[in-house]
Amino acid sequence: MGNAGPIDEYVASMRHALRGPGGAKRDLLTEARDSLLDAAEAYEGEDLPRTEAERLAVADFGTVPEVAPGFQEELAVSQGRRTAALLFLSVPLTALMWAVIWRMFPESPHAAEIKPVWFGPLARVVDLLQLGVGVVGAAALVAFGVGVRRVRRPVPLARWLGVFVWIETSLVGALGLVLAAAARGPEGFAEYPPGVAAALISDLVAVWQLYSATRCLRCTRAASALSAAGREPALSRS
């Protein structure tokens, strides 16, 4: 770092300030670095030393507190788009998998007598919740995709999506356990290999969803913090 020029130091500071998906963050930093290098080469064409040319290019580009909020907002939108795509794809597939499992599950001849009266209504509630999550995922995917230019506040939308996933995943997971236990008892279901496999897949998908939602919350929290930090110098100057 001691031999790094002003551009490398600037990009390193920006990398440290930003939070978000690795690929999207790398693309933003690469784009910024390329722009800075082009500007520095233009200054070098005016017979300025390389270090001075890079320093002027960085000054023209803007300080990290000035530029980082815009970059962080893009990263928050990118993470929101990833989370929405995950919901849109995984929720319908998981619901279809469980529909097949319940249809094939070898129930006891007395299952109808064993099941509590609330089993059917609760199962329909879970189905509606999963359907709603798929719809929310599709709507959010559109909002973060072709509709992102019309969304005035994409960062709060990404934050809301993260909170929604945490609430929905926890609720559906808890209700699913209740249904599995009531269908034939935990012991009977545990002896059914396709059911065990489906439960494991559902757990892995749920962990993936929660991880993606957590990254949404981290990205949006960083965006809010950088925006607040960027407003402080402006207020002090005014």
Per-residue pLDDT for 38 more than 60?
yes
pLDDT at 113 over 70: no
Q: Does 1 score more than 50 pLDDT? A: no
Supply angle C-alpha 126, 157, 12, rounded to 5. Answer: 125
Query: Which of 117-121, 157-161, 198-202 reaches the highest mean pLDDT?
Result: 157-161
**DSSP code per residue over 134-199:** HHHHHHHHHHHTTTGGG-S-HHHHHHHHHHHHHHHHHHHHHHHHHHHHHHH-HHHHHT-HHHHHHH
Domain coordinates in residue numbering, the chain: 6-62, 69-237
Considering the chain, what percentage of its residues have pLDDT values greater than 70? Answer: 84
Instruction: Please state, rounded to an integer, the average pLDDT across all residues of the chain.
Output: 84
Mean of pLDDT values over 92-115 = 68
This prediction's pTM: 0.82
